Amino acid sequence: MHAIVFFAFTSAGTVLGMAAYGAENDKFAVYYSDRAPPERFNSYQLLVLDRIHHPPLSSLTENGKTLLGYISLGEIEETSPYFSTLKANGLVLQENKNWKGSYFIDIRKPLWQKIVIEEIIPRVLQDGFDGVFFDTLDSPLELERKNPGKYAGMSDAAVHFIEGVRMHYPSIKIMLNRSYAILPRVAPDIDMALGESIIGEYDFNKKAYVRVKESLYLEQVQRLQDAKRSNPALKIYTLDYADTNDHKAIADIYRLERANGFTPYVASVGLDELVDEPNL
């Protein structure tokens, strides 16, 4: 396993020059389980939670937490109640090689957008969430990048998807994960952008936590900072992965992400345990 080290790059638009808008004292977490008791979240202001398996929402809301419910926009699992409907209508594409049982969705067809806007989001809000966290939109965007002939229009469909959600729900909180290819276009319609695996990631082939390549690190920081410049109200968060026993590596990631002007969280790849920032 590669150690995750503290970068100090100053190229690519001066990645250390944006700390002025960083939220030094803000804390957020991404947690997809229901095992942790509500009091474990006392120090966090923003929580991204699984919309099915999560701690009691009422106690978290009473303590002033902002809660976002997870929604996968670009992929669907075989266990989803909507899987058979999407498959019957030709929206289910290839399987994600890293996540068995999860399939890419053809978001160019309006059926999925209709289901998300008219069925899934209302249920998330009725359950007590303040907004939504949109994940996996990178998957259809990557299909278009690799095969623009076959998958042309995925990017435009993704933009229209986000715009459609905002039009129907003008006041909810929306966080979008990655989706760098369309981020400049949708930045005005979202409240928060998440950069996942900026510094530390999990290598599924090596089955180990590894450091992100320097060039990719710099590219992602630049894209997120550019999005912030285009929409000063946009809040930038990061989610990195590391060995939870390597407290120094985790602390280094926190320091760097804050220096970049971001609000960080570091966890294990399963996101099923709440990992507190080391006090080093």
Neighbouring CB atoms inside 10 A of 123's CB total 11
> What is the sign, positive or negative, of the torsion defined by CA atoms of 3, 216, 162, 235?
positive
Which pLDDT value is given to residue 25?
Answer: 61
Span 216-224, average pLDDT: 97
- Which one, of 224, 181, 191, lies nearest residue 15 by Cα? 224
* Domains of the chain: residue spans and CATH: 28-267 (3.20.20.70)
- Which one, of 269, 260, 198, lies nearest residue 30 by Cα? 269
pTM of the model: 0.91
Per-residue model confidence as pLDDT tens digits over 81-121: 999 999 999 999 999 998 899 999 999 999 999 999 999 99
Per the structure block, which two tokens stand in for 8?
A: 């100090």
- The 3-class secondary structure across 97-125, one letter per residue, is CCCCCEEEECCCCHHHHHHHHHHHHHHHH
Per-residue model confidence as pLDDT tens digits over 262-274: 999 999 999 999 9
